[in-house]
Amino acid sequence: MILRRIEGSGLFRRATFNFMVGFGMLAMPISTYAANVINTSDASTNNAVAVIAKTSSKPTAEPGRPMPVKIEPRVPTSVEMARAMELMEERVRQLESQLLNISEEVASRIAKGATKAECANALASQPVKAAEFQKEAPVVLPELAANAPRVKLSFKSFVRSAKTMFSATPMTTLNLPAPPKPAQAQLMPVQQQQAPAATAPAPAPAPKKDEPTGALNFFKDVEVSGIVDGYYSYNSNKVDLFSQGRAFDVRHNAFSLQMAKISFERKNSKENPIGFRVELGVGETVDRVISVSDSSRNDGTKHVLQAYASYVAPIGKGLTLDFGKFYTPIGGEVVDTKDNFNYSRAFTYWYGGPFYHMGLRAKYAINDKVAVTGLLVNGWDNVFENNAKGSGKSVGGQISVSPTSKFTVVQSYLVGKEAPLANVPATSSRDNVRHIADTLATVYVNDKLTLMGEYTLGKDGDNDGKRGQWQAFASYLRYALNSRMAFSPRFEVFKDREGLRTGLGQTLKDLTLTHEIKLVDNFITRFEYRRDFSDRNFFTNSGGAARNSQNTFIIGLSYFFTTKGQ
């Protein structure tokens, strides 16, 4: 290390002093692990340190004795100062060399995959002359800063080696103790040492002006979403107005609004147990999902597609309880077109099961593979109870099992007394027990191909008390050509032998081919061809004549948005 004399300023002197104190702190972690501290101090060093260490503190008189004569401290000569600094320079050079050796040793061991214990042993095996320097630093360094303003030691090489060591082997890696904070009281005269003033506890932070509180805090997590869904359909039978057997795409040769809705939802969890969902809508879907038994009393509430409150009870992993009006969990297709593979709905969806319920729903996820749902509701598609004396309630259950991430099977069952479709209100003699069992299996072959199959079996009675059943099988496929396009064929068979669901004993079939294009995000266009056919003359043409088939061509447009992202 080279001793240099350069012009300095007060700021330069303070930087020199602080850096040298910092050097002492860097040496401490290493000295902790040194097995043996070599004490090779020579007499000349001690003499020089003693000369430099003299202070200018005022003499005090002992009790009963006169005040001693004031003796001014001797200022060290330039020779003594130079000698002291040469000794300090020699000490620093020795420490620098030893630090560099330790750095190389530890870096080598780490490169070879050494453990923490092995690295610590490597440090302990290196003798470090740090303890004596630590003892002298509080005395020597202040005097150097005060009496030798034009002198500075060059620490460039030391900084380089120290940085190499501590960057290659951080303290957290070697589990070294953090160096203690420098004792500032040792660097000032005793007369100036004072007890630290007690600090008052920091005041609690004031709430931000724009931070919602109370009810506003509850509603800040509400997600707002919406859908606008329209279509154009052409029926090859050139019917007068409506296509027979269709759910929501009923109008021929016309531009139609299937549904426009807006939704408000606050999702809940075990940490935030209160939630809700409200959906308001207009369009053909609103009128089509209202059952005959509810239509006369539902003119005001039919635009409320869903409205339920939700609570997560602190039971196990969290039991979710929903109360109100909600879509049925039964089946493979849903009300919102964008969430289906095809634009039109299958016969299985339109005739096979319910659309919505009014009542209580309980959901519980046993683990990440099994979830169960329970229902206690008024029945099928009824906001108001339509059974005699309100005695008919339906109960149901559902279990969802996903043994792997690529396969899911859902089994649903619902049973309860239900009035026949045309009997409003029901009479006790005409109440019947209605059953439906539905099995839905989904296979996610890969990120492009998805297969889905559904089987439905239902039993009910008619106005005359005659019992019957229906069953359906629907198969779906969706293949994503890329992130913007997909192809989705569907084939189904719906058997209604007694005509309980369609009004005519028959077997319906449909073949649907759907090509989906996502022109932009949140905007889906679907081009669809569908052929419906029956073993009976169920369909009609423009003159009202019965036909056993019909073909439709549909262009469907669906735009959707949400404030929480997709």
3-state DSSP call for residue 86?
Answer: helix
Both structure tokens of 94:
């020795």
What one-character DSSP code corresponds to residue 245? Answer: T
Tell me the C-alpha distance between 280 and 299, whole Å: 13
pLDDT of residue 104: 66
pLDDT of residue 9: 39
Other beta carbons within 10 angstroms of residue 209's beta carbon come to 5
pLDDT of residue 124: 55
Other beta carbons within 10 angstroms of residue 498's beta carbon come to 16
Tell me the C-alpha distance between 452 and 347, whole Å: 16
Tell me the C-alpha distance between 159 and 179, whole Å: 17
Inter-residue contact 9 to 44 (CB < 8 Å): no
pLDDT of residue 215: 65
Question: Distances in Å between the alpha carbon of 287 and those of 45, 270, 351, 419, 461?
Answer: 102, 37, 16, 20, 25
CATH 3.10.100.10 fits 223-562, yes or no: no
Q: What are phi and psi of 501, to 5 degrees?
A: -105, -35
DSSP letter for each residue of 150-185: TEEE--HHHHHHHHHHHHHS-HHHHTPPPPPPP-GG
- Residue whose C-alpha is closest to residue 175's, from 125, 117, 131: 117
Beta strand pairing call for 449-461 and 467-480: antiparallel
3-state DSSP call for residue 530?
Answer: strand
3-state DSSP call for residue 265?
Answer: strand
What one-character DSSP code corresponds to residue 199? Answer: P
Inter-residue contact 564 to 546 (CB < 8 Å): no
pLDDT of residue 278: 97
Inter-residue contact 154 to 2 (CB < 8 Å): yes
Tell me the C-alpha distance between 472 and 467, whole Å: 18
Q: What are phi and psi of 262, to 5 degrees?
A: -130, 140
Q: What are phi and psi of 370, to 5 degrees?
A: -130, 130
pTM over 0.95: no
Q: What is the pLDDT along the chain (566 residues), one digit of tens a residue?
A: 333 333 343 433 443 444 444 444 444 433 333 333 333 334 444 444 444 444 444 445 455 555 555 555 556 677 777 777 777 777 667 766 666 666 666 566 666 666 656 655 655 555 444 454 445 445 444 544 444 433 333 344 444 444 444 444 343 333 334 444 444 444 444 344 444 444 555 555 555 555 566 667 777 889 999 999 999 999 999 998 889 999 899 999 999 999 999 999 999 988 899 999 999 999 999 888 876 555 555 667 889 999 999 999 999 999 999 999 999 999 999 999 999 999 999 999 999 999 999 999 999 999 999 999 999 999 888 887 776 665 678 999 999 999 999 999 999 999 998 765 534 444 444 557 899 999 999 999 999 999 999 999 999 876 666 788 999 999 999 999 999 999 999 999 999 999 989 989 999 999 999 999 998 999 999 999 999 999 999 999 888 888 999 999 999 999 999 998 65
- Residue intervals of the chain classified under CATH 2.40.160.10 are 223-562
Distance of CA 269 to the CA centre of its chain: 13
pLDDT of residue 418: 79
3-state DSSP call for residue 255?
Answer: strand
Total length of the chain: 566
Inter-residue contact 541 to 239 (CB < 8 Å): yes
3-state DSSP call for residue 241?
Answer: coil
Query: Over the range 445-480, which residues count as b (16 or more CB within 10 Å of their CB) and which as e?
Result: eeeeebebbbebbbbbbbeeeeebebbbebbbbbeb
Tell me the C-alpha distance between 170 and 176, whole Å: 9
The CB-side HSE value for 250 (13 A sphere, CA atoms) comes to: 16
Beta bridge partners of 256: 231
Tell me the C-alpha distance between 140 and 108, whole Å: 36
